[in-house]
């Protein structure tokens, strides 16, 4: 595995593809290493490899759609002979938006500043780029976390779980809420510290959005009364209820 704790001084198409796959991995540890490693790539080396025709299409697509105002990325990507016409069009829009934004930024700064001060946390977040949202997800307060954990971008909502200030009570609420993304519920279910809390575990099991393979692992920790409630719940997956029924029979038999 690539060590995400050290700056990667040189990268080629193969290494960048590997880092990209780690970035997109559903394994929280691999995802975290991928994010850190890509952030620490040498800007010059990254720009150079983005023009490499050997770069896979999914990596090209990702960097095109996340280029934003990074002119070094945009110029490198435009030189890549493997870039499709569609992605060329996306780059042109990014470059146009970037130039337009820079030309008017100074003129509107003073005008917008008072308005921003009066915006709610949710309204301020709506105006942020993906990168700014990720930074806030990693360092923001409880109010910011409550907004960002509902974001549609995976990097954003997963970064909330890496925030050192997140409280166990917030984890419990996430585990209980049926609106929580199933990927977040899976990560919560894999965390030993959080699942040492019985309320978190119970919330995960009774949440119909929790992946069944996560819920089933915790059934043996439930009381007979809880198992009977699970068995009778029509909102929970049938396979989970079947496993609860089996454990009920075992517990009654051992009495």
User: Is the per-residue pLDDT at 114 higher than 60?
Assistant: no
Pick the last residue of a domain from 149, 165, 181. 165
Stronger pLDDT, 15 or 118, i.e. the higher one: 15
Question: Residue 205 belongs to what domain range?
Answer: 167-255
Stronger pLDDT, 231 or 44, i.e. the higher one: 231
Stronger pLDDT, 21 or 222, i.e. the higher one: 222
Of 37-46, 72-81, 91-100, 123-132, the poorest mean pLDDT is in 91-100
In a domain, residue 109? The reply is no
The pair of three-digit structure tokens given for residue 154, joined into one six-digit string: 């995976």
167-202 pLDDT tens trace: 999 999 999 999 999 999 999 999 999 999 999 999
Same domain, 26 and 74: yes
- In this prediction, residue 222 carries a pLDDT of 94
Non-local (6+) Cβ contacts of 78 within 8 A are: 88, 91
Same domain, 21 and 96: yes
- In this prediction, residue 97 carries a pLDDT of 54
Same domain, 137 and 201: no
Structural domains in the chain (count): 3
Same domain, 186 and 232: yes
- In this prediction, residue 112 carries a pLDDT of 47
Same domain, 87 and 58: yes
In a domain, residue 79? The reply is yes
Same domain, 156 and 177: no
Same domain, 194 and 254: yes
Mean pLDDT of the chain: 82
Distance CA 241, CA 198 (A): 19
204-225 pLDDT tens trace: 999 999 999 999 999 999 999 9
In a domain, residue 199? The reply is yes
63 half-sphere exposure, CB direction, 13 A CA radius: 31
Same domain, 171 and 154: no
- In this prediction, residue 166 carries a pLDDT of 94
Same domain, 156 and 190: no
- In this prediction, residue 10 carries a pLDDT of 67
Same domain, 180 and 249: yes
In a domain, residue 30? The reply is yes
Pick the last residue of a domain from 81, 104, 127. 104
In a domain, residue 111? The reply is no
């Amino acid at each position: 595995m690539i060590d995400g704790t050290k700056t990667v001084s040189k990268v080629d198409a193969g290494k960048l593809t590997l880092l990209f796959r780690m970035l997109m991995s559903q394994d929280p540890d691999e995802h975290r290493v991928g994010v850190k490693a890509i952030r620490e790539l040498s800007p010059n080396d990254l720009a150079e490899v983005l023009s490499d025709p050997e770069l896979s299409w999914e990596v090209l697509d990702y960097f095109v759609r996340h280029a934003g105002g990074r002119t070094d990325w945009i110029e490198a990507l435009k030189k890549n002979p493997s870039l499709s016409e569609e992605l060329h069009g996306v780059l042109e829009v990014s470059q146009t938006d970037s130039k337009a934004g820079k030309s008017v930024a100074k003129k509107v700064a003073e005008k917008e500043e008072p308005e921003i001060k009066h915006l709610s946390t949710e309204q301020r977040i709506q105006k942020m780029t993906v990168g700014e949202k990720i930074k806030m997800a990693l360092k923001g307060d409880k109010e910011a976390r409550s907004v960002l954990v509902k974001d549609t971008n995976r990097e954003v909502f997963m970064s909330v779980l890496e925030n050192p200030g997140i409280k166990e009570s917030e984890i419990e609420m996430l585990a209980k809420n049926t609106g929580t993304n199933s990927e977040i519920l899976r990560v919560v279910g894999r965390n030993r510290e959080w699942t040492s809390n019985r309320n978190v575990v119970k919330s995960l099991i009774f949440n119909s959005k929790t992946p069944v393979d996560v819920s089933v692992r915790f059934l043996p920790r439930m009381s007979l009364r809880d198992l009977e409630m699970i068995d009778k719940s029509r909102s929970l997956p049938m396979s989970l209820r079947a496993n609860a029924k089996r454990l009920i029979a075992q517990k009654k038999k051992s009495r």
